[in-house]
Structure 1
Amino acid sequence: MPGTGSSPPDKEPDTICGVCLSYPPSYDAAVVAVDYAPPLDHLVLQLKFSARLPLAPWFADLLRDAVLARPGLPLPDLLCPVPLGPSRLIERGFNQALEIARPLAGALGVALHPRLASRQVDTRAQSGVSPHERAENIPGAFAIEDPDLVEGRHVGIVDDVMTSGSTLEELAATFKRFGAARVTGLVVARTPPRA
């Protein structure tokens, strides 16, 4: 997978890593605003686990800037935040991806569909499983609530953190099964690849 602000199959050979060339992901591009590293990683954790909701618009601004810094990248037709499972949503009281997606949708002028996808399986938190278990934790987790809205459209998936890419991959594959023409991941922070 390419680094910050990069995209897998966007036909930019100098930004596509060997893994993406060997195993093309279901999403067509991924835009990442920052590395998940100090001090920003602590701010992401404060939003997610300490309900510091005023950070969400700031993260949306970072992500908007990363998107607009790529003028050749088409904007999605609609945005969908990565959904939380019911128990995690009750426990947390909010979905951090949705809190970021709201101001991002306004800033980009793209329609937000917060319930376009749902999590039909209450998976373990990806942050709580080892890297090699992440892909096994998420298959079949998502359902699309309005397939007609997806067919032939460019869907932007909004999330706070991308580590292994398993969540983005599974949700993108689900959208593609329902006829999405293109899927772009819009992620605030990405765990830097290990050297």
Structure 2
Amino acid sequence: MSGKHPLYQIMQRLPGTCQVCGRWPSMPVCTTCETRHAPPAPRCPTCARRLPPGSAHCGACLTQSAGGGPTYLHALVAAVDYAYPWDGLIARFKFRGEPGWAGPLATLMLRQPGGRELLGTCDVMVPVPVTASRLAERGYNQSWELIKALRRQAPDTRALALADALVRIGNAPDQHPLPREQRLRNLQGSFVTHPQHVARLRKTHVLLVDDVSTTGTTLNAAAQALLQAGAGRVSALVLARTSVH
């Protein structure tokens, strides 16, 4: 059933069983589980990694900045750590044909510090694209589903949502098990801006949306392509950040 269907939207608001603790009645994730497993936490504004007390940036980003390494993202905000129970729910959303999770997960993204602020300051929202073969396999791009859910829950946003502003070319292997250096090599030239949208992106603040950030290489590669097309600034909002850097 389409996410735009009135019956689907009603069903999304009806109580059911919490998919983490099993409590009933509840929304898909109950308030107790959300409070327990998604507490606000200080994060590095560059990579969204958790920060130790008193730190403004993580050590890895400070080292990279001191070494002159390229960073194309202006800011990166993550709602939660990629850990229990979110890793399992993301797997259901991403790999098991359950796009309805976009709504509850988008709610989580908006409730965490910085999420709603980014949504309010961006001009354009762009999903991180998947390859054509992966899209055919899944039937949807989970990042685009998140954008649609974010816009439904923040209807006052003025941002333009462009599903195909970025195109992913080639079929690089899955990034998850690879070290950072190999990720960078895999993603060089993997993203291009759709010619139809270049004029709409020029001098804008673009917000990239994705489900998970591991090392930030995918987001930086996508941001680089947008900046090369004339975007003025690129930030990113993701649901989860892994502990890997």
Structure 1 position 183 matched with structure 2 position 234: yes
Distance 1:67 1:24 in 2: 26
**Per the alignment, in what secondary structure is the counterpart of residue 61 of structure 2?**
helix
Instruction: Kindly provide the amino acid, as one letter, of the partner of residue 60 in structure 2.
Output: V
Aligned residue pairs total 189
Match of 1:90 among 136, 141, 144: 136
Structure 1 position 171 matched with structure 2 position 222: yes
Distance 1:14 1:51 in 2: 40
Distance 2:144 2:115 in 1: 22
Q: Which protein shows a greater Rg? A: 2
Taking a change above 3 Å as real, the CA distance of residues 128 and 85 of structure 1, as seen in their structure-2 partners, is farther
Residues 62-90 of structure 1, C-alpha deviations (whole Å, 9 max, x = no match) = 11222556758862111000001101111
Match of 2:107 among 33, 38, 61: 61
**Per the alignment, in what secondary structure is the counterpart of residue 79 of structure 2?**
strand
Distance 2:172 2:118 in 1: 36
Partner of 1:147: 198
Partner of 1:52: 98
Gaps of 5+ in 2: 1-40, 48-53
RMSD: 2.4
Gaps of 5+ in 1: none
Taking a change above 3 Å as real, the CA distance of residues 123 and 180 of structure 1, as seen in their structure-2 partners, is same
**Per the alignment, in what secondary structure is the counterpart of residue 180 of structure 1?**
coil
Partner of 1:127: 176
CA contact (8 A) 2:180 2:217 kept: no
Identity %: 33
Quote how far apart the aligned CAs of 1:122 are. Answer: 2.2
CA contact (8 A) 1:4 1:33 kept: no
Structure 2 length-normalised TM = 0.70
**Per the alignment, in what secondary structure is the counterpart of residue 219 of structure 2?**
helix
Distance 1:96 1:69 in 2: 18
Distance 1:161 1:32 in 2: 8
**Per the alignment, in what secondary structure is the counterpart of residue 114 of structure 1?**
coil
Partner of 1:136: 185
- Of residues 78-87 and 17-26 in structure 1, the stretch that sits farther from structure 2 once superposed is 17-26
**Per the alignment, in what secondary structure is the counterpart of residue 189 of structure 1?**
strand
Taking a change above 3 Å as real, the CA distance of residues 93 and 71 of structure 1, as seen in their structure-2 partners, is closer
Greater RCO between the two (CA within 8 Å, min separation 6)?
1
**Per the alignment, in what secondary structure is the counterpart of residue 20 of structure 1?**
helix
Taking a change above 3 Å as real, the CA distance of residues 193 and 182 of structure 1, as seen in their structure-2 partners, is same
Instruction: Kindly provide the amino acid, as one letter, of the partner of residue 97 in structure 2.
Output: A
Instruction: Kindly provide the amino acid, as one letter, of the partner of residue 178 in structure 1.
Output: A
Instruction: Kindly provide the amino acid, as one letter, of the partner of residue 182 in structure 1.
Output: R
